[in-house]
């Protein structure tokens, strides 16, 4: 069984490389030996393809491949299989795709895992959304109720965990149990710009609320000294 509880918090801070390849490699070189995880999202992956995953793994990082699969089950199964074959250690899919889609993704991951234990995460509600923007999509009620529904469906599909804002981490920890991976973007050091995020907390607050991992991007990657910025965040955990 996958277990994060024995890992230090410093190894559970994921740096989002939402940039081009040249900058990603510059950041990787600066963060080598400091950060354990980096996130490859759509910007970088769609520019460079699966090779970017291998190149970053060769630099010693674990790779969170955040492509948020959302399609019919057959397509998602194939996408998940390809992502793990490329070397991803953690992948995401939209929980709103339903239990059968998530089960298909899990099958694709398991088929390609070759004895490894990749982490499968369901994205619940994007951290850029608030109640008004969620309701405008046709989902009525409170954000936390939608997240609870989707998290239980992810659990039914036997995924490793979920992605949600730190504001829901405490509820999710109680709902899903001590071993569930709860990965929280929407994390900003005190005083940092919120950018396009709506539901945020500081890194320490997110871990205190029950996050297993936090994702942080621009406060590190946009800093004049990214390594110092990362180390300062870790120091405050």
Q: Domains of the chain, with CATH numbers? A: 9-235 (3.20.20.70)
- What the block records as the tokens of 226 is 């990214």
Which residues fall within 8 angstroms of residue 49, CB to CB, at 6 or more apart? none
pLDDT per residue over 215-234, tens digit each? 999 999 999 999 999 999 99
State how far the Cα of 77 lies from the Cα of 89, in Å rounded to an integer: 16
Phi-psi region of 73 (alpha: psi -120 to 50; beta: other; left: phi over 0): alpha
How high is the pLDDT of residue 1?
52
What is the predicted pLDDT for the residue at 12? 98
Neighbour-count burial of 64, counting CB atoms closer than 10 A to its CB (0-12 exposed, 13-18 middle, 19+ buried): buried
Q: Tell me the pTM.
A: 0.94
68 carries an active-site annotation:
yes
pLDDT over 70 at 197, yes or no: no
Q: Look at residue 2 in the predicted model and tell me its pLDDT.
A: 76
| Whether the predicted pLDDT of 135 surpasses 60 | yes
Answer yes or no: is pLDDT of 198 > 60. no
Q: What is the dihedral of CA 179, 185, 190, 191, to 10 degrees?
A: 180
Look over the chain and give the mean of its residue pLDDT values, rounded to a whole number: 94
d(CA 176, CA 178): 7
Q: Which of 22, 36, 57, 68 is catalytic?
A: 68
SS3 label, residue 162 = strand
pLDDT of residue 146: 96
First to last CA, the chain: 26
pLDDT at residue 127, as a whole number: 81
How do strand 13-16 and strand 37-40 relate by DSSP bridges?
parallel
| Alpha carbon distance 1, 195 (integer Å) | 36
């Amino acid at each position: 069984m996958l277990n994060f509880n024995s890992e230090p918090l410093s190894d559970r801070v994921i740096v989002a490389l939402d940039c081009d390849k040249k900058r990603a490699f510059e950041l990787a070189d600066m963060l080598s030996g400091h950060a354990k995880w980096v996130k490859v999202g759509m910007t970088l992956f769609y520019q460079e393809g699966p090779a970017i995953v291998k190149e970053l793994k060769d630099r010693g990082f674990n790779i969170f491949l955040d492509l948020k699969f959302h399609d019919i089950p057959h397509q998602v199964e194939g996408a998940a299989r390809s992502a793990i074959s490329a070397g991803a250690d953690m992948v995401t899919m939209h929980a709103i795709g339903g239990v059968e889609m998530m089960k298909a993704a899990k099958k694709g991951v398991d088929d390609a895992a070759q004895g490894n234990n990749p982490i499968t995460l369901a994205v619940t509600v994007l951290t850029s959304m608030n109640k008004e923007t969620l309701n405008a999509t046709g989902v009525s009620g409170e954000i936390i109720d939608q997240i609870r529904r989707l998290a239980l469906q992810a659990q039914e599909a036997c995924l490793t965990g979920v992605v949600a804002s730190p504001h829901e981490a405490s509820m999710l920890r109680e709902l899903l149990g001590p071993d569930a991976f709860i990965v929280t973007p929407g994390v900003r050091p005190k005083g940092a710009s919120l950018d396009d995020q709506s539901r945020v907390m500081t890194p320490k607050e997110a871990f205190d609320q029950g996050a297993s991992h936090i994702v942080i991007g621009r406060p590190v990657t946009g800093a004049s000294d990214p390594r110092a910025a990362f180390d300062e965040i870790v120091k405050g955990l």
